[in-house]
Amino acid sequence: MMIRKKIILLSVILSLISIFTPIIFHVSPYSIYQFWAWGLVLSFGLNSGEIGILYNNELEFLVPALFAACLIILGSVLTLYGLRKDNSKYVIIGNSIIIGTPILLALVWQLIYVLIVGYPTYWGSSGGYNYFLPSFSMFIQFIAGIIAILSIKIKLNHKN
């Protein structure tokens, strides 16, 4: 298998791993919470060291997160299809979806929490130690998409 195909396959693996890692974390005055796209939440007590596991049932969080997970799977399937058929167009479309998903998710959450729920902000600090930040999952989606698109770009440059 050519090195380019291995890089694209690595990007698919990374994007699928992003579904199984925390997507955001929330720092509050007493705990740090890690949120997964399908609703699992781990909490770590800052003072007591307690660890808790719960399920987040806030629909304004879960619906966009589950939709984002579906988009990542769609992007991965398109990338694999393009890899199998040796069609760069599908690889670029699939990885564009993978790159665009965390941006779309961040925008949707910001709109939901500011306009609908009425919080002053979702991302960043709203005063003190109460803020949400992107976690590993959002960053790995960017990395996966970019390395696959760059490998396609390298292939196209070598054809010319």
Reported as a single tens digit per residue, the pLDDT across 81-119 is 998 888 889 999 999 999 999 889 888 888 887 777 776
Residues 6+ apart with CB under 8 A from 16: 72, 73, 76
Contact (Cβ atoms closer than 8 angstroms) between residue 23 and residue 138: yes
Contact (Cβ atoms closer than 8 angstroms) between residue 84 and residue 58: no
Strand partners, 124: 132
pLDDT band at 123 (very low <50, low <70, confident <90, very high): low
Residue with tokens 């398109």: 78
Considering the entire predicted model, what is its pTM? 0.82
The pair of structure tokens assigned to 147 is 């390395």
Write down the number of H helices and E strands in the chain: 4, 6
CATH number of this structure's domain 3-154: 1.20.140
